[in-house]
Amino acid sequence: MISTLAPTGTAPASGMTEASRRRAMAKANRVVTFRIKRCDGPGKASYWQDFKVTVPKNANVISCLQQIAANPVTADGKPSTPVVWDSGCLEEVCGACTMVINGKVRQSCSCLIDDYAPNEGDVMTLEPMSKFPVVRDLWVDRSRLFHNLKRVQAWVPIDGTYNLGAGPKETPASQATHYVLSTCMSCGCCLEACPQFNEIPDQGSKEANEAAWNSAFIGAHAISQARLFNAHETGKELKEERLDVLMGTGGVNDCGNAQNCVKVCPKHIPLTESIAVIGRQVTFHAIAKFFRG
Amino acid sequence: MSQHRVIVVGGGLAGLSASVRIAEAGLPVDLFSLVPVKRSHSVCAQGGINACNEVARQQGFSEYEHFDETIYGGDFLADQHPVLEMANWAPKIIDLLDRMGVPFNRTSEGNRDLRLFGGSLFKRTHFAGATTGQQLIYALDEQVRRYEAEGKVNKYEFWEFLGPIIHEGRAVGIVAQDMRTMQIRSFRADAVVMATGGCGLVYGKSTMSVMCTGAAAARCFRAGAWYGNPEMIQVHPTAIPGADKLRLMSESARGEGGRVWVPKKAKDPRDPKQIPESERWYFLEEKYPAYGNIVPRDIATREIFDVCVNMGLGVGGENQVYLDLTHRDPDYLTRKLGGILEIYEKFVGDDPRFTPMKIFPAVHYSMGGLWTTYTKGSYNPGTALPKHKSGSPAPLDAKVGLGMQLGAPNNSMTNIPGLYAFGEVNFAYHGANRLGANALLSCIFDGLFCGVSVFNYVKNEAPGKAPAEGLASGAFDESVSRETARMKSLVDSASAGASDPATNPYAIGKELGDEMTAACTVVRTETRVKQCLTKIAELKDRYAKVKLSDAAGWTNQSFSYARAVGDMLAVAEAIALGSLERRESRGAHYRSDYPDRNDAEFMKTSLAKHEAGKTTLEFVPIDASLVAPTARTYGKKDTKKPEMAAAAS
Amino acid sequence: MSHSVAAAPDQSFLDKNYFLIRRLHSLTGIVPIGVFLIAHLVTNSSAAWGAFALREQLPGVNATADKGLAYFWKEVMWINTQIPHLLLIEITLWASIAFHSVFGVYFAMSGKSNTNRYSYQSNWRYSLQRISGYIGILFIFYHVATLRWGWTFLVPGGTKWSAEFAGSTLAAAIQGSENGYTFGGVLVTLLYFLGVTMLVYHFANGLWTAAITWGITISAAAQRRWGYVCAGLGAALMVMGWVSILVFAVVNPGLTRELEEGLQKGHSSLVEPSGNERLARAVRHDDELVVGGMNLNSNRTSKE
Ligand SMILES: Cc1cc2nc3c(=O)[nH]c(=O)nc-3n(C[C@H](O)[C@H](O)[C@H](O)COP(=O)(O)OP(=O)(O)OC[C@H]3O[C@@H](n4cnc5c(N)ncnc54)[C@H](O)[C@@H]3O)c2cc1C
Ligand code: HEM
Ligand code: SF4
Ligand code: SF4
Ligand code: FES
């Protein structure tokens, strides 16, 4: 488990972290403007709308959106419609609420206004993720991300749910490595920030979309999952098939090593390490295939 | 040749394990979920999953003891046979999850590591870091994706279940709506499995995810399915208050020495670190010298509640108390509790190693849910055994089929044939109080064990003779037009800027949550609950005139929410009715006017039924023929080894 | 068993050979292009450090600067006498550059730079890798066209480069005339600084990414360590590149030419024909060829 807690040596004895100092300065019940990029549906033009929200301390983006939904009146007093957004757990484990906040992708549920807009009149901008088609307002359709998990067969091919005894043993060290990879919540931050992963316009049908996705860059998310399953004792069974996909068009080769993915991943997954591991596996796989035929 | 199909509604642990099992058996599955299944509420579970294991077994633990402590923890309200079967299956479930690749924590030898959890003297809880639920659901999600790629499971994500379709007394499909396009349509199926989770949103804020409205269960309830033990709502003592959600602070914080206190002076404005020891009230330690801060969960919850709500001593005058770890070595805390302390730091901003946390109890889990039945297994001792002595040899081995008959078509089936309820939405297993780390188990057990029942029902019972595919379309069309009309009436109400709180769905939802939290949580009384029922009636009237502010025919979220509010009112009414009629105290249900357990009258399931628009409640006997009830004291006299009573999440 | 999304049967040539092309792209960046870049910069910068490598005493060459220029001249002359090798090397090099840059442009176009939002250092390096590729190929084109192919209309002052007067013609081409700086010369010099900077960066950063691509550096720590190595190499090459330009930006073309003429007169005693050289003479039956590097040069140019 990677801890974001500051090492004790560096934390002041008062218990004030950098964040808590910033948050302590934030004014209670200040009015913050939410500038939201809205869109009524696929194919419709986007437009910006401002809402003024009275923000209590410790409020997050979701609680402000809830306020807007309950009383959707714009900053200039015009009645509007509730902003649409996606959310689930509200504690940064489900990945649903991902959006672009003040220009950077992150989860909105863990985004505290105190950190971003501590003063009266500050502005927060909310935009939908740009790499996936917008459903409405801040809600995007991330089917492609889940489809990419199918491309690399991100599962362990067990024999079935019958009672067949325990799984393979594993050392604590290897568990620790795999656990971190396995905390990926398919939020898509890594894809949103990746210069090599770009939006594919709707192709009209599910099949056409999937075909287009199949040849486009798969992204750090699925590459890292392929690494996880390639490392599993039983998951290895499909390793070669996964590598065949990953050495092809849209596979690991399309990564340009900008390494944005690893910086925006909320779960601190070592994505660039995964990319290098898969790079190595693909190298050996290609050599093996060359000699084996 | 006609093709049978099964619909599974809900993609949490229960729904996913059911889908895997049923698809594997050879029936195509249509899987419906409000959210991509990987994002279901089950991801939130942190603590772990219980099962007897070799280490514990060799120390004297057994499946039987696991069963016994679950019954005891549930204050003898659960039907006992299903619990026995669940405990017997638990080790097999862990093995299976292990094979699926769940990264369970390991010992140095590479075996699955275990942790101690509330309600047991043995380490019997398997865990994967601080995100066990997430890891389990991912493993199942992957297996479902595998079947999806093979065409055996068809996912309908972002589809909302609107109701079961009942034809000639059995479930033959569902009506559902695409939340993006707003298309309403019917789906045929030979059996429908409800696995839609809990109903925390009825209380406004809880530790649950935003889709846990209980609306899906309510829709079945309104269609004639019975609802069991609605009043049994678990309130966890330590959660982080928040504007949108009450995030869980695991009980292990107190297990590691956390002290609960409030300033003696009401609304003391000082920084907690500036308040001298003499001016702090460690009320749990004072009131329970033997147990101190690790009193059983329901007691801790009630005491914190009392101090804040009745005495007005909450920190800063608000409903919160300090949970203080600052006397412990910060490095030790990082090692032991890093994960959960990080959540606190992320959402509150303070580092709990140096600043006391502010916490308050929060609604956490619903033991109640759709009522289901089962076929008893072969273990029937004649007279119930006394409470099992911890660590003594089990009176029976852990053979499958002792508690429930494997494959009996009615296992976990509601009173409506063909309509099943799995997971948290199933009222079975946990009685009046759930033990920590037993919920994940019951969800997966339902899916795997009762999935076979679904298969057998489809093959051998009514659908075998008359598959849903071949039925006349009447019932299907009728349900679509009913739901379309319901939508139309709501959307037509929309007028720009409809902000009158009397008819604003968000205002109604919030008032409902506040009222339910005030009346039907920690301490309940006859007068307060009656008041609550009056309030619900008022809200229902207002709801009849509800006005939306969005008339969009595309991805209209406020419409979906408004529709759910109507269903939440139905769940709330059942909860309140149960809280009123159960005139005793049992498990999570505490009536200060009836503080004792009353087995003679109330060791019974409270059964809510909805007929002709009216909710009624009756008490039906339970099957407690395996273990005889005893007082649930948690060995209060044993001061050397206090345990945490109920769950540590 | 395979649930994988089956590869479409009607795959394009690119799709079928995707891995090979990608890895060849990576490889060609290092060998031969990168290796050539190193050799080229080492040679060119010898004009600055050659005095320390020049072991014999040349008549009339005494100043340190002169010694450097003399060494450089010798190097160029030597290279330009390795006929069959040179041909082979040039063909490989050109094929590689063509391959690397055609696909480089194609791959670069598949990305969308987003440093405005994610202004991380690694992201800047990613974008710069693409930009430096574009600028680099333009520079290479200009560099080769003007000096190798004799497209003198692109050279301010119209100087034609020749191997036997390598230093002086280069200096004149860079400075914009044979007798000192012109405005056009300033632009050319700046272009040289830009081009060399971009190419050295591109190579050094490429070396860093290639280690990830091939799976050589795995952990973040290894990538960081290899990054220091690449940065070190890059810095060294950068110094060599800048120094080379600097030398020819400051030397007097006229005086350099005098030096070179002197060197040519004493040529046979200065340059001991190597085995290859003898072979070349034998093949061509043309002893003059060696000295007449010019002729040789223009012959080849017309072939290309
Ligand atoms: C913070 C927290 C921590 C917990 N920790 C533990 C723990 O450590 N150990 C333990 O054993 N238990 C724990 N629990 C309890 C446990 O997590 C839940 O009981 C369990 O996950 C419920 O799973 P489920 O499959 O029944 O439903 P859920 O996971 O809630 O899934 C419900 C599914 O139904 C779908 N759905 C709902 N309504 C509709 C509709 N109308 N139409 C279509 N689909 C619908 C949803 O989309 C979702 O897919 C914890 C609970 C919380 C809140
Ligand atoms: C002197 C000339 C050049 C040298 C020495 C050189 C060297 C390299 C090297 C070593 C790499 C790293 C390969 C890897 O990451 O695997 C690379 C990558 C790259 N080069 Fe070049 N290159 C040169 C010219 C060019 C040109 C002219 C272009 C055209 C635009 C170009 C475009 C690229 C691109 C886009 C990449 C990144 C490829 C990827 O990450 O997939 N290069 N180059
Ligand atoms: S390292 Fe690769 S996957 Fe990650 S952001 Fe950069 S290009 Fe994208
Ligand atoms: S790897 Fe990280 S950023 Fe990417 S989807 Fe997973 S959790 Fe999100
Ligand atoms: S709502 Fe689950 S991550 Fe934000």
Mean pLDDT of chain B: 93
Residue to mutate, A110, A265, A268, ligand 4, most ligand atoms under 8 Å from C-beta? A265
Q: Which of C175 and C62 is assigned the larger pLDDT?
A: C175
Q: Which of residues 218-257 of A touch B (CB under 8 A)?
A: 229, 232, 234-235
- Asked if the Cβ–Cβ distance from A90 to B209 is below 8 Å, we say yes
User: Closest Cα to atom 20, ligand 1: which residue?
Assistant: B42
Q: Which CATH number does the domain A142-157+167-292 belong to among 1.10.1060.10, 3.90.1150.10, 3.40.50.1970, 2.60.40.10?
A: 1.10.1060.10
Task: Give chain A's radius of gyration (CA, Å).
Answer: 22
Strands of the sheet with B614-621, listed across from one edge: B369-370, B227-228, B604-611, B614-621
- In chain C, which residues touch B (CB < 8 A)? 3
**B649 C-beta closer than 6 A to ligand 1:** yes
Yes or no: say if B200 and B364 are a contact pair by the CB < 8 Å rule.
Answer: yes
> Does residue C97 fall inside a structural domain?
yes
- Please name the chains neighbouring A, where neighbouring means 3+ C-beta pairs under 8 angstroms: B, C
The answer to whether residue C115 sits within a structural domain is no
The whole-chain average pLDDT of chain C stands at 85
Task: Please give the share of chain B, as a percent, with pLDDT higher than 90.
Answer: 82
Instruction: Over range A280-286, report the average pLDDT.
Output: 97
Q: Model confidence over C220-243: pLDDT tens digits? A: 999 999 999 999 999 999 999 999
Ligand in closest contact with the CA of C113: 3
Q: Find the mean pLDDT for residues A110-127.
A: 94
Decide: pTM greater than 0.90: yes
Q: Which residues of A touch B349 (CB under 8 A)?
A: 17, 19-20, 22-24, 58, 112, 114
| B437 Cβ below 6 A of ligand 1 | yes
Residue C131 lies in a domain: yes
Q: What per-residue confidence (pLDDT) applies to B641?
A: 31
Position C6 in a domain: no
User: What six digits make up the tokens of C7?
Assistant: 């590869």
Q: Give the residue-averaged pLDDT of A217-223.
A: 98
A211 to C8: CB separation less than 8 angstroms, yes or no: yes
Are B266 and B258 in contact by the 8 Å Cβ rule? The answer is no
Residue numbers in A near B101 (CB within 8 A):
155-156, 167, 182, 229, 232, 234-235
Q: Considering only alpha carbons, which residue of chain A is nearest residue C212? A: A276
Average pLDDT over residues B224-252: 92
**Predicted complex ipTM:** 0.95
Please report residues of C whose CB lies closer than 8 A to that of A153.
3-4
Given B170, B188, B297, B632, the catalytic residue: B297
Fold of B475-614: Methane Monooxygenase Hydroxylase; Chain G, domain 1 (1.20.58)
pLDDT at residue C287, as a whole number: 37
A43 touches chain B (CB under 8 A): no
Contact between residue C188 and residue C174 where contact means Cβ atoms under 8 Å apart: yes
Does residue C304 have a pLDDT over 70?
no
Nearest-CA residue of chain C relative to B148?
C3
Q: How far is the CA of C104 from the centre of ligand 2 (A)?
A: 6
Q: Assess if residue C1 is contained within a domain.
A: no
**Strand pairing report for B49-50 and A134-136:** unpaired
| Alpha carbon of B151: minimum distance to chain C alpha carbons (Å) | 10
Residues of the domain holding C150: 19-110+122-277+287-303
pLDDT digits (tens, 9 = 90+) for B265-308: 999 999 999 999 999 999 998 888 877 887 767 778 988 988 99
Residue of minimum CA distance from atom 3 in ligand 3:
A220
What is residue C82's predicted lDDT score, i.e. its pLDDT? 84
- Residue C209 has a pLDDT of 98
- Stretch among A91-105, A165-179, B330-344 having the lowest mean pLDDT: B330-344
The pair of structure tokens assigned to C201 is 């960066």
A25 to chain B nearest CA, in Å?
Answer: 12
Which residues have C-beta atoms less than 6 Å from ligand 5?
A 87-90, 92-97, 107, 109
In this prediction, residue B606 has a pLDDT band, given cuts at 50, 70 and 90, of very high
Report B:150-169 residues touching C (Cβ under 8 A): 150
Instruction: Please state the rounded mean pLDDT for residues B621-630.
Output: 97
SS3 C149: coil
pLDDT above 60: residue A232:
yes
Give the 3-state secondary structure of residue B106.
Answer: strand
CB contact under 8 A, A169 and B111: yes
Contact A175 B105 (CB under 8 A): yes
pLDDT tens for A21-41 read: 778 888 889 999 999 999 999
CATH code: domain of residue C246: 1.20.1300
Query: How many contacts, defined by CB atoms under 8 Å, are there between B and C?
Result: 3
Contact assessment for residue A204 and residue A42, using Cβ atoms and an 8 Å cutoff: no
Domain at A18-136: CATH architecture: Roll (3.10)
Which residue's CA is minimally distant from atom 8 of ligand 4? A187
pLDDT of residue A16: 56
B438 lines ligand 1 (CB under 6 A): yes
Ligand nearest to the CA of A266: 4
The Cα of B237 is separated from the nearest Cα of chain A by a number of Å equal to: 18
- Calculate how close chain C gets to A2, using CA atoms only, in Å: 15
Identify the CA nearest to A114 among candidates A51, A15, A49, A29: A29
CA distance C239 to C251: 18
Dist CA B608 CA B616 (whole Å):
6
pLDDT in tens, B378-413: 999 999 999 999 999 999 999 999 999 999 999 999
Domain ranges of chain B: 6-234+366-470, 236-363, 475-614
What tokens were used for A258? 């900008």
C57 pLDDT band, cuts 50/70/90, is confident
CA C46 remoteness from chain centre = 14
Answer yes or no: is pLDDT of A7 > 60. Answer: no
> Does residue C14 form part of some domain?
no
Is the pLDDT at C295 greater than 50? The verdict is no
- Partners of residue C24 in chain A, C-beta under 8 Å: none
3-state secondary structure of A13: coil
What confidence tens digit (pLDDT) does each residue in B305-358 have?
Answer: 889 988 999 999 888 999 999 999 998 787 767 778 888 988 888 899 999 999
Integer angstrom CA distances of residue A7 from A4, B327, B466? 9, 17, 66
Min CA distance, B154 vs chain C (Å)?
15
Return the pLDDT at C285: 37
Confidence (pLDDT) at A13: 45
> Catalytic: B297?
yes
pLDDT at A4: 46
Q: Cα–Cα distance between C147 and C199 in angstroms, integer?
A: 18
Report the pLDDT value the prediction gives residue A41, as an integer from 0 to 100.
Answer: 95
The CA distance from C3 to the nearest CA of chain B, in Å, is: 6
Architecture of domain B236-363: Alpha-Beta Complex (3.90)
- Overall domain count for chain C: 1
Chosen from A29, A65, A78, A93 to mutate, greatest number of chain B CBs within 10 A: A93
Q: pLDDT > 90: what percent of chain A?
A: 88
Residue A168, preceding peptide bond in cis (omega within 30° of 0)? no
**Ligand 1 and B606: CB distance under 6 A:** no
CA pair distance A81, A136, nearest whole angstrom: 12
Interface test with C, best of A253, A262, A271, A282 (most C CBs within 10 A): A253
Calculate mean pLDDT across residues C201-219. Answer: 98
**A214 has a chain C CB within 8 A of its CB:** yes
Residue nearest to atom 2 of ligand 3 (CA): A255
In sequence order, the 6+-apart residues with CB closer than 8 A to the CB of C144 are none
Six token digits for residue B172 = 């033959």
What is the distance between the alpha carbons of residues A4 and A24, in angstroms, rounded to a whole number?
19
B112-121, B491-500, C239-248: which has the minimum mean pLDDT? B491-500
- Helices (H), ranges, B388-473: 439-445, 451-460, 462-465
Model confidence pLDDT, tens digit, residues B239-258: 998 888 999 988 778 877 89
- Reply yes or no on whether the pLDDT at B607 is more than 90: yes
Residues of B in contact with A150 (CB under 8 A): 145, 148-149
Taking the alpha carbons at both ends of chain A, their separation in whole angstroms is: 42
- B neighbour chains, 3+ CB pairs within 8 Å: A, C
Architecture of domain B6-234+366-470: 3-Layer(bba) Sandwich (3.50)
d(CA A153, CA C1): 11
Distances (CA, A) of C81 to C153, C281, C286: 27, 10, 12
* CATH 3.10.20.30 domain span(s) along chain A: 18-136
Alpha helices for B116-214 (secondary structure H): 132-149
DSSP-derived letter for residue B123 is: -
Quote the CA–CA distance of B608 and B159 in Å, as a whole number: 27
Quick one: DSSP state of residue C6? P
pLDDT band at C275 (very low <50, low <70, confident <90, very high): very low
Residue B120 pLDDT level (bands cut at 50, 70, 90): confident
| Partner residue opposite C120 with nearest CB, options A247, A263, A286 | A263
For residue B497, the model assigns a pLDDT of 56
Local structure of residue B224 (DSSP, 8 states) = T
- Segment B88-100, tens digit of pLDDT: 999 999 999 999 9
Question: CB-CB: which of B142, B497, B554 is closest to A40?
Answer: B554
